[in-house]
Structure 1
Amino acid sequence: MSPTRIAIIAGEESGDRLGGALMSALSARRDITWFGVGGDDMVAAGLDPLFPLEEIAVNGFDAIVRRLPQLLARIAETAKAVAAFKPDVLIVIDAPEFNHRVAKRLRRALPDVPIVNYVSPTVWAWRPGRAKAMRPYVDLILALFPFEPAAHARLGGPKCVYVGHPLYEALRAGRDGSVGEALLVLPGSRRGEIDRLMPLFGEALARLAPEVPVRLLAVPRHRERIEAYVADWTVKPEILTGAEGKRTAFATARAALAASGTVTLELAAARVPMVVAYKLDFTYRQVKRLHRFIPIVTATSMVLANIVIGRNAIPAFLEDEATPEAIAGALEPLLRPGTPERDDQATAFDEFDAAMRVATSPSEQAADAVLDLLATRATR
C-alpha cells in the first residue's frame, strides 16, 4: 500500500505547534508522505518545508500591507506546489489570510482533493458571513471550542467537528487545586492594549486597595513600558515575566484582573476566578458603532468561558462599562473565600471542564477526524 500523501500548511507559530502534534498522531497510525509549510515542531514531525515559516508569519494589518507583494507571491507558489504534489488531503492550520487563498486555488486546480481547516475562524464572534463563504472550498473544520460546530451549522458553514483545545488540556493537567494568596493582573500582550488598560487597572486597584499581594504578568518586551505605568500606581505590584514567572503567577493567584483574550481561557482552565475588562482601539470602536446598524459582531461575551458554558458567569466590562469603580466592585468578593461570586465561578469552571473535555487528546481527535474524512472519500 502506497503512503498517504498529505499537504499541510501552518502560517504562524501557534499553528506550527498544532501541526506538529497532528502530524505525529497521524504518522503513528499510517505511512505518510508530508509536504507543505511549517516551523520547528512540524519539521521535527517529518516535514521538509517548502520555505521558512517566518516568511509568511506576519501579525497585524500594517505588517500584512507592508509585505503584501511577498505574501501574494508565496500564496501562488504554495498553491502551485501543493497541486503538483497531488495530495490525498490538504490541511490548512489557522492563518486564514494566507491559507484560505491557497485552499481556494487548490480547489480550482484539483476539485476532488478534500480540504481540512484546523482552527475555525471566529465566525461566531464577528463577520458571520465568513462561515457560508468557506463552504465551497473547505470540507471539514477541526474546531478548538465545543460551541463551534453548532455555530457553523447555524450559519451555513462547512461540516465542523470539535477536537479539543491543546492549551486548555495542558493547563487543566497542571493545576493542583490550591487557592493562591495573590491578585493577578494581566494587562495584555500588545502595546496598544497595554496603553489603554494600564491606567484603568491602576485606578481600579487604587479603589480596591487589596490586602493581598498583587502580581502583574508582563510580556518581556513590554516590561519597561509597564514599569513606567506602575510607577504612578498607588498599589505597587510585583512584576513577573517569562515562563517561570507565568507558572508562579498562575500557581499563586487567588483571583485575576485580565484583558480580554486567550488568557481568559488559561485562567478558566486553571480555575482562577476573574474579572475581565477591555478598551477597544480606534478601528474596533468604529466597528462597534457600525454594529448598531449592521450586525457585524455576534459574540454574546468577550470571555471565552462564558461563551462555552452559555451564560455570563464571569464579569466582563467593555469600553464605557469598564470603569475603576465597576472593576473594583466585581473583584472585591473574589478575593474573599466562600462568597457567592467565587462559588458561582467555581460552578462555571465545572461546566467549562465538562464542555471542553475530549475522550483522548486534541491531536488524536484531530487525527481521527482527518482519517474519517479520507475513509469516507475512499468509499465514494
Structure 2
Amino acid sequence: MSRPLKVMMVAAEASGDALGAGLAKALKARLGSDVVFVGVGGVAMAAEGVDSPFDITELSVMGWLEGLKAYGVVRRRVADTVALAVAERPDAVVLIDSWGFTIRVAKLIRKALPNAKLIKYVGPQVWASRPGRAKTLATAVDHLLALYAFDAPWFEREGLATTVVGSQALHVDMSGSDPVVFRASRGIAAAAPLLAVLPGSRPSEIRLMTPVYEAAIARLKAADSSLEIAVVAAGTVAADVTARVATWPFRAHLIGEDQKYAAMRAATVALATSGTVSTELALAGAPMVIAYRFQPLSYAIMKPFFTGKYATLFNHAADEEIAKELIQNDATPEKAAAAVGRLLADPAARADQAARQTAALDLMGRQGRDSSELAAEAVLRVIAGRSA
C-alpha cells in the first residue's frame, strides 16, 4: 500500500496562514486521507492539520530596520523550518508569501533535499519594486502560484513556470455577513455614517498607524459627532489594538475578525492600512482611503526600490488611483481626515468609487474559479512532474 502524499506548507504571517489553510482544505477535498501535512503556520493552518513547531507572530515584520532587529529570530526559525523538512522529507514544499523568510528556507531546502518539489505561493511584487527578485526566485523554486495575471510575465521571462490561481480575497463569500444585523447588534442607527478602520495585521503597522487614525478620527468626529467608528482587530494583533483603542477619547466599536466582513459591508467609508484588506473592502462594496507608514529610516532605504505607481492592487490593475493612497509623509491625520471626509460628505462620489473598485476586481480575476482549488490542482501537477 502506497503511503499518503506528504505536503509541507510554510507561512509566516496571518495572510499566508489563510492561504495555506485554503490550500490544505482543497487538497483534502481531493485526496482525503491520501494526503498529510507538516509545516509552519498559524491557527488557520493548524485547524486544517498543519501543526507548527513555533508561533509565527514573531516573524511578522515589515521594513528594513524591523527586519534587522528580528534577524536573529528569523535565522533560528529558518533553521528550525529546514530541519523539519529534512526530518519529514515531504514530496513538495509550498512556501507561502513572506519573501524574506521563505526565500531563505527555499535555498536551504534545495541544498538539503534536492529531489523535493519547491513551490512558491505568491511571488514578490516585482511590478512594484525590486524586479531582480524574479530571477532570484526562478533559481530557487520549481513553480510559482501567482495571484494575478499581471504577475506572471515577470517570472516567466526568467524561466519560472507559473500558474495564475487568483486571490482568495476575490472569492470571499460575504453573503452571510449582514450589514443590517451588524448595525443593529452594535446599536448603530441605519442612517448613521459609519467609518470602518482596519489598522493592519503586523505589530509595526499597529504601532505606526493607530496614532494617525486616532487623530484623523478626532478631526472627523469634531466635524460630525454622529459618526460611528468600527475598528477591526486582526487576530495576530488583537490585544495590541484593543489596548490602544481603549485609550481613545471617543467611542469606537471593537470588531473581531469573525465580524470583519459584516463591518465592511455596513461601512459608509473605510480607512485601511495597505494590504490584502483593500481587496476585501472592494469586494464588500466599501469606498476606502488607503494609508501606510514605514519607519522613516526603513522608508528612506526602501524608497529607491519602489518602481510601481500604486501600492493598492486594484489601483495597479486599473492603472489609476481609484482609492486615495496616503503613503509615508502623506499618511497624516490631516490628509486622512480630509480624504475620508470628502467621501462621507458625497454619496455620489462613494457610489462612483465603489463601482470603479468592483470593475477593477474583475480585471484581477474576480469571476474566475476558486483560487484554493486552482492552487491544489497546480501543486498536484507539479508533484506529478507536469509543470504546465
Tell me the TM-score normalised to structure 1 length: 0.79
Structure 1 residue ranges, 4+ long, deviating more than 6 angstroms after superposition: 175-180
Structure 1 residues 52, 150: closer, same or farther in 2, change over 3 A?
same
Structure 1 residues 95, 36: closer, same or farther in 2, change over 3 A?
farther
- Superposed CA deviations along residues 46-78 of structure 1, whole A, max 9, x for unmatched, are 55x5x6242785222367335356325414413
Aligned residue runs from structure 1 range 297-312, under 5 A: 297-312=306-321
Q: Which residue of 2 aligns with 1:287?
A: 301
Q: Which residue of 2 aligns with 1:101?
A: 104
In structure 2, what is the Cα distance between the partners aligned to 1:182 and 1:316?
22
In structure 1, what is the Cα distance between the partners aligned to 2:290 and 2:75?
39
Query: How big is the shift at 1:151?
Result: 3.8
User: Is residue 2:135 matched to residue 1:132?
Assistant: yes
Query: How big is the shift at 1:244?
Result: 5.5
Structure 1 residues 257, 89: closer, same or farther in 2, change over 3 A?
closer
1:37–1:53 Cα contact (<8 Å) kept: no
Query: How big is the shift at 1:116?
Result: 0.8
1:90–1:113 Cα contact (<8 Å) kept: yes
Greater Rg over alpha carbons, structure: 1
Query: How big is the shift at 1:134?
Result: 0.9
Query: How big is the shift at 1:273?
Result: 0.6
In structure 1, what is the Cα distance between the partners aligned to 2:360 and 2:54?
38
Q: Which residue of 2 aligns with 1:184?
A: 195
Query: How big is the shift at 1:203?
Result: 5.6
Tell me the TM-score normalised to structure 2 length: 0.78
2:78–2:104 Cα contact (<8 Å) kept: no
Q: Which residue of 1 aligns with 2:209?
A: 194
In structure 2, what is the Cα distance between the partners aligned to 1:16 and 1:65?
21
User: Is residue 2:275 matched to residue 1:264?
Assistant: no
In structure 2, what is the Cα distance between the partners aligned to 1:204 and 1:299?
32
Aligned residue runs from structure 1 range 151-170, under 5 A: 151-153=154-156, 156=158, 158-170=160-172
Unaligned regions of 5+ residues in structure 1, if any? Answer: none
2:270–2:287 Cα contact (<8 Å) kept: yes
- Superposed CA deviations along residues 278-322 of structure 1, whole A, max 9, x for unmatched, are 33322333225x51xxxx112321222212333211111223434
In structure 2, what is the Cα distance between the partners aligned to 1:325 and 1:43?
42
Aligned residue runs from structure 1 range 107-256, under 5 A: 107-153=110-156, 156=158, 158-174=160-176, 181-186=192-197, 188-189=199-200, 190-198=205-213, 200-202=215-217, 204-205=219-220, 209-210=223-224, 212-219=226-233, 220-221=238-239, 222-228=241-247, 230-231=248-249, 236-243=250-257, 246-256=260-270
Q: Which residue of 2 aligns with 1:11?
A: 11
Q: Count the aligned residue pairs.
A: 362
In structure 1, what is the Cα distance between the partners aligned to 2:6 and 2:139?
20
1:277–1:322 Cα contact (<8 Å) kept: yes
In structure 2, what is the Cα distance between the partners aligned to 1:354 and 1:175?
25
In structure 2, what is the Cα distance between the partners aligned to 1:72 and 1:374?
23
Tell me the SS of whatever aligns to 2:381: helix
In structure 2, what is the Cα distance between the partners aligned to 1:181 and 1:213?
7
In structure 1, what is the Cα distance between the partners aligned to 2:120 and 2:387?
20
9-18 or 171-180, which deviates more: 171-180
1:272 counterpart letter in structure 2: A
In structure 2, what is the Cα distance between the partners aligned to 1:56 and 1:243?
16
1:134–1:157 Cα contact (<8 Å) kept: no
Structure 1 residues 200, 54: closer, same or farther in 2, change over 3 A?
same
Query: How big is the shift at 1:135?
Result: 0.7
In structure 2, what is the Cα distance between the partners aligned to 1:127 and 1:378?
26
Q: Which residue of 1 aligns with 2:339?
A: 330
Tell me the SS of whatever aligns to 1:2: coil
2:199–2:210 Cα contact (<8 Å) kept: no
2:147–2:166 Cα contact (<8 Å) kept: yes
Q: Which residue of 2 aligns with 1:74?
A: 80
1:75–1:101 Cα contact (<8 Å) kept: no
Aligned residue runs from structure 1 range 316-355, under 5 A: 316-323=325-332, 326-336=335-345, 338-340=347-349, 342-355=351-364
In structure 2, what is the Cα distance between the partners aligned to 1:358 and 1:141?
21
1:142–1:161 Cα contact (<8 Å) kept: yes
- Superposed CA deviations along residues 18-42 of structure 1, whole A, max 9, x for unmatched, are 3333233223334635353145554
17-26 or 298-307, which deviates more: 17-26
Q: CA RMSD in A?
A: 3.5
Query: How big is the shift at 1:15?
Result: 3.4
1:180–1:251 Cα contact (<8 Å) kept: no
136-145 or 279-288, which deviates more: 279-288
Higher RCO structure, 1 or 2 (CA under 8 Å, sep 6+): 2
Tell me the SS of whatever aligns to 2:139: coil
Unaligned regions of 5+ residues in structure 2, if any? Answer: 62-66, 181-189
Structure 1 residues 318, 204: closer, same or farther in 2, change over 3 A?
farther
